[in-house]
A = this chain, B = another copy of it.
Amino acid sequence: MKISALLTSAGINIGLCVLFLSLYSVLRKQPANVRVYFGRRISEEHSRLREAFILERFVPSTGWIVKALRYTEEEVLAAAGLDAVAFNRMLVFSIRIFSLAALLCVFGILPLHYYGQNIQHLRIPYEDLDIFTIGNVEKRSRWLWVHCLVLYILSGVACILLYLEFRHIARLRLLHLKRATPNPGQFTVLVRGIPKTKKESCSSAVDDFFTKYHASSYLFHQIVYKTGKVQKIMTGAKKACRKLKNFTDTTVDQSCKAITYRCCLCGASSNSFQLLPTDEVVPSRGKVDLDDSSLNIDNEECAAAFVFFKTRYGALVASDVLQTSNPTKWVTDLAPEPNDVYWSNIWLPYKQLWIRRIATLLGSIVFMLLFLAPVTFINGLSQLDQLQKRLPFLNGILKQPHHLVQLITGYLPSVILQIFLYTVAPIMMLFSTLEGPISHSERKRSACCKVLYFLIWNVFFVNVVSGTVLKQLDFFSSPKDIPVQLAKVIPGQASFFITYVLTSGWASLSSELMQLFGLIYNFIRKYVLRMKEDTEFVPSFPYHTEVPKVLLFGLLGFTCSVLAPLILPFLLVYFFLGYVVYRNQLLNVYRTRYDTGGLYWPIIHNTVIFSLVLTQIICLGVFGLKVSPVAAGFTIPLIIFTLLFNQYCRTRLLPLFSTFPAQGGRAVRKNGTYSPRAPYRVLPVP
């Protein structure tokens, strides 16, 4: 690809970005769209934001950028939770490390590449992009030590920054756990796999078990009953029958409201549930109610129970310890927060979960492999000569004016890839749901991992591999040669990655800002269907698509930094823009209903370490290809040090993300003692 094609692509994208940003700054001032762009604020701060936006409504402005930047971390934490802060820190980390990388590589390495071989240089717009990659450096060049040095500096600084961020998030997580208003989830244990007995009811079995083994801190419990569809109709009929007899009984129907709108795909069966609080909890419910619940117990299968403890420590101990000699019975986990519970999965038999996990794992792998087809096709587009050879009938189409070909090679491939990629997140979310997580946040985190693996495999590796030779699928059959193979290919693929940053990065950021879907939905609802405003509908932030996206750009940045530094300025613009846009969205648009407590950070940390090591391995291959034994020799200890650093972080900080320290749970014992109310009786209000 020529510089001019790149510039065409960049131009289109900059134009789109500016257009979208201006549109946004106008649209956000329209009162009709206030629900789209200020969903969180309206749902949380109510009625404060309705006036003011009347003047200068149709003039683009930049005030929102300033506003988004002005918020402090404490405000973000308070408004959007710890996950938002972790996301934010990831962007800050990326900005910091890639600013340094851009500085070092553009001024230190780019000239080395450009003047790497004694060739006649054209005017820069007509230069091939390969001129700016390491491919243009001669073998046995004396200047390869510069690459090695830059690699050392980048890896070192990245590790230090990463450690500081990890520590920071860990500290915030501890504060989050200890905060003054106790979170009911920390006092509650979800018990699954309660063994069935003939002689006593499920509720008394739970009561017996926990009074026997956790007497000192056990408080009370709530049973979740599983009602099938038929069962539900039967129970409903019985209830209706009794209601006719005694129609003062209004508190009986406590079946959870369906929460299908939160995720479009998989909340379907969530309304087949009923929470039947035990008598101790609601002693005011009286006789009729008691009859009703005992009637239900006869008919329905006990699925799980929420068990409440007096102290966080008590709940922590009960969830940590293996309860009985059968590990699939009396399985205890810390309960998710009330808003976070994924009701449809709670009744899944615990014994089934391991096989579900394996099945979804296999499903995801098959999906990832099937996706090779579109990716290979797309890559063919960016390498026209390859495609022409394979599919000769395309020759006619491709003998078009120069600009059209430039458009095809520079822009079309990543747009098509982008469209295909939109199907990935819902499918991965579906897989994660089938896996059987008990909370929304766990489901989202699992989907995040799946999307991340998917992107790294399909966007990075497959593009790299199919980039050189179409269908060279035996690439991965010889692991020994992978570094050398990658080293050969990456510089050549830099042009594709740059256009990917432009289209997928910049453009998707502006469309995220625009909330095109929300805008259209709002418009149709309001003016076509003429429905009332839905104040409840505020989406939560799609971490499972956005975290992998940003991490993928980080991976591209690291791997290309030393080899093809031209990508870095574009990437840096992406990260800056992302920082502003995501802050704005987190603070204004999305509402935080549940929080993992920073559990996205280990994923981020691991991916950055993976990117660093991959970069180092690729550089090792490049130094090998360029016959520079000194540089290659110096790269090996760097890989070892990076891995050791990772191991240190895992030992030192990771355990905090898998459990809670007892000290915290005990130290806040006084204000952390739990007052007996039943938070899970509250229906999961959207």
When the two chains form the complex, which single residue of B323, B355, B479 contacts A662, counting CB atoms closer than 8 Å?
B323
B322 contacts A660, C-beta separation under 8 Å: yes
1/0 per residue A71-100: CB within 8 Å of B? 000000000000000000000000000000
When the two chains form the complex, which single residue of B317, B644, B659 contacts A317, counting CB atoms closer than 8 Å?
B317
- Taking CB atoms, residues of chain B closer than 8 Å to A666 are 212-213
A656 on interface, CB distance cutoff 8 Å: yes
B322 contacts A662, C-beta separation under 8 Å: yes
> Quick one: which of A293-332 are within 8 Å of B by CB?
316-317, 320-328
> Quick one: which of A132-158 are within 8 Å of B by CB?
none
Give complex CA distance A202, B481 in Å.
55
Question: How many copies of this kind of chain does the complex include?
Answer: 2
A663 on interface, CB distance cutoff 8 Å: yes
A662 contacts B321, C-beta separation under 8 Å: yes
1/0 per residue A170-183: CB within 8 Å of B? 10001000000000
Give complex CA distance A93, B659 in Å.
39
Give complex CA distance A178, B174 in Å.
37
List 21 A-B residue pairs with CB atoms under 8 Å apart, sorted by A's residue number: A170-B325, A212-B666, A216-B216, A316-B321, A320-B320, A322-B656, A322-B659, A322-B661, A323-B661, A324-B661, A324-B663, A325-B661, A325-B664, A327-B653, A328-B652, A354-B651, A355-B644, A477-B479, A477-B480, A478-B478, A479-B479
A269 on interface, CB distance cutoff 8 Å: no
A240 on interface, CB distance cutoff 8 Å: no
DSSP majority for the A interface? helix
A647 on interface, CB distance cutoff 8 Å: yes
> Quick one: which of A457-512 are within 8 Å of B by CB?
474, 477-481
A655 on interface, CB distance cutoff 8 Å: yes
> Quick one: which of A388-406 are within 8 Å of B by CB?
none
Give complex CA distance A654, B354 in Å.
13
Given known pairs A213-B662, A322-B655, A477-B478, the reply for A358 and B647 (CB within 8 Å) is yes
Closest to A330 in B: B663
Give complex CA distance A281, B358 in Å.
52
- Taking CB atoms, residues of chain B closer than 8 Å to A479 are 477, 479
When the two chains form the complex, which single residue of B317, B327, B653, B664 contacts A651, counting CB atoms closer than 8 Å?
B327
Given known pairs A480-B477, A662-B323, the reply for A644 and B213 (CB within 8 Å) is no
